[in-house]
Amino acid sequence: MHMRTSFYALLALSLSFASLGSRNLAYAACRSSAAQRSAAQIPTSTSTAISNVLASAVERGDTPAVVALVVDRKGCVFEDSAGKLDVVHAVPISTNAIFRIASMTKPVTSVAIMILVEQGKLSLDDPVSRYLPAIGQLQVLTHFNEVDGTYQTRPAKRPMTIRHLLAQTSGMGYAFSNPTVAAMVKLTHKPDWELPLQHDPGELWMYSPSPQVLGLIVEKISGMSLEEFLQRHIFVPLGMHDTSFAVPLEKQSRVITVYDHVDGKFQDIPQPPISSLPTPPFRGDGGLCSTADDYGRFIRMLLGGGQLDHVRVLSARSVRLMGENQIGAIVVSQQPAADPTRTRPFPLGAGQDKFGLGFQITQASSAGPKSRSPGSLSWAGIYNTEFWIDPRRGIGGVLLMQFLPFYDEGAIRTLKDFENAVYEDLSRGP
């Protein structure tokens, strides 16, 4: 207990010091890195075009605010923001704004699992029941009575494994994006991750709280809370000083307001206060707060084959494995909007893309050359935070907004315009 308390005390102190002047330092680092790049890759004209995309998105009412970042293996090559951190109080946003990144937590949890694999503490094909018997032995739904909430199940054809959880083929589903799960949650009052499976493990791709289960496994194997494990093995080593399940009091003025986009207007969504100290339970499928710069460092680590500067988080082999197709002939399928106030149908690339260990994998680009390459990795968060990693071109992008519903038309237009602007010059080739 004393060691854990000491760890959090030191962590809070380091985060406090790191917050001082962080905006100017991050901006300077981005610009100095950009100066080292070839003018043919991200020229001034392209940077201006990207900034114009962000400003235009705010001006036409597609988003109240946006922060965007582009990185390569060496550092940040573009960073800018537009709009208001808080519209009601007319607080301008800056590039060091702190966002609720929601499901962009999932890839981070996936890296945590791969760290444990490299430590020899678990295997990708271990049955989940070895670590969490109740979850690993969930049965498959065969009948659900939408009147009284009763249901029937059968044993699964095969055990649920760690690989299934990472690849989103576990059989679990989310209430917000699956109508059957939504109805079952409403009538049974059980959390979605404790309900019967919607299909046999390994048979379909379905977006789910599988990484929440992975987070529980990280905690059980490591003997640490998920927050402590992520700080020790990922955030502190990578210099991600603004990423945590909590936001210290001195940083909370940088947290962006969350909005609802209803009838063409943005309305504040009352949010529970963010804890100033990490307070369990921690979820592996969401709950992290972060900045564009911090997540850019996470992306750069993956672009670097598991290494950022002189710090190695994963082996190059593990990073390659995470970016390889783990679902065979299955494809990422479009997820319906069980709750239209929270999401529109998603994701882009449904019907053709594959999934690795924690990442969607682009198979082909329907938008032409001005978009991410096949083999790019990506995912997003429900408040319209997005990222992609393009190993072929050696770059990654982060686009952070903060409103519902997910996949709102304006948010997707902003994402596509941002991506097209990033690749405008790259598409011309050498």
The residues facing 80 across adjacent strands are 68
E strand map for 125-200: 140-144, 151-154
279 lies in a domain? yes
Q: Kindly report which listed range (45-49, 138-142, 178-182, 248-252) carries the lowest average pLDDT score.
A: 45-49
Give yes or no for a contact between 77 and 42, defined as CB atoms under 8 angstroms apart.
yes
The answer on 336 and 305 residing in a single domain is: yes
114 lies in a domain? no
123 lies in a domain? no
Find the farthest-apart pair of alpha carbons in the chain and give their distance in angstroms, rounded: 65
50 lies in a domain? yes
Q: Which of 294, 357, 380 is nearest to 101 (CA)?
A: 380
Q: Which of 235, 226, 388, 394 is nearest to 311 (CA)?
A: 235
122 lies in a domain? no
Amino acid at 18: A
The answer on 410 and 309 residing in a single domain is: yes
The answer on 153 and 91 residing in a single domain is: no
What pLDDT, in 10s, does the model give residues 300-350? 999 999 999 999 999 999 999 999 999 999 999 999 989 999 999 999 999
Query: In the predicted model, what is the mean pLDDT of the chain?
Result: 90
The answer on 263 and 370 residing in a single domain is: yes
Structure token digits, residue 275: 């804890």
Structure token digits, residue 229: 């494990």
- 67's CB contacts (< 8 A; 6+ apart) are 79, 80, 81, 93, 95, 97, 99, 291, 292, 398, 399, 400
2 lies in a domain? no
Amino acid at 353: D
The pairing of beta strand 259-262 with beta strand 76-86: unpaired
Structure token digits, residue 27: 């901006």
The answer on 51 and 183 residing in a single domain is: no
Model pLDDT, residue 34: 36
Q: Residue 185 pLDDT more than 50?
A: yes
| DSSP 3-state of 105 | helix
The answer on 342 and 303 residing in a single domain is: yes
The answer on 414 and 271 residing in a single domain is: yes
Structure token digits, residue 280: 């369990």
The answer on 311 and 191 residing in a single domain is: no
Q: How far is CA 329 from the centre of its chain?
A: 25
Query: Phi and psi (nearest 5°) for 28?
Result: -65, -40
Model pLDDT, residue 42: 65
CATH of the domain at 320: 3.40.710.10
What pLDDT, in 10s, does the model give residues 94-151? 999 999 999 999 999 999 999 999 999 999 999 999 999 999 999 999 999 988 889 9
The answer on 259 and 184 residing in a single domain is: no
Q: Residue 32 pLDDT more than 80?
A: no
Q: Residue 169 pLDDT more than 50?
A: yes
Model pLDDT, residue 18: 36
- 213's CB contacts (< 8 A; 6+ apart) are 128, 132, 135, 165, 170, 172, 193, 284
Inter-CA distances, 39 with 2, 19, 185, 421, Å: 52, 32, 54, 15
200 lies in a domain? yes
The answer on 240 and 151 residing in a single domain is: no
| DSSP 3-state of 59 | helix
111 lies in a domain? no
C-alpha span between 269 and 280 (Å, rounded): 24
The answer on 306 and 421 residing in a single domain is: yes
Domains contained in the chain, number: 2
The answer on 400 and 311 residing in a single domain is: yes
Task: Report DSSP state, residue 323.
Answer: T
pTM of the model as a whole: 0.90
| DSSP 3-state of 403 | strand
Model pLDDT, residue 35: 33
- Per the structure, the complete domain to which residue 388 belongs is given by 12-105+226-428
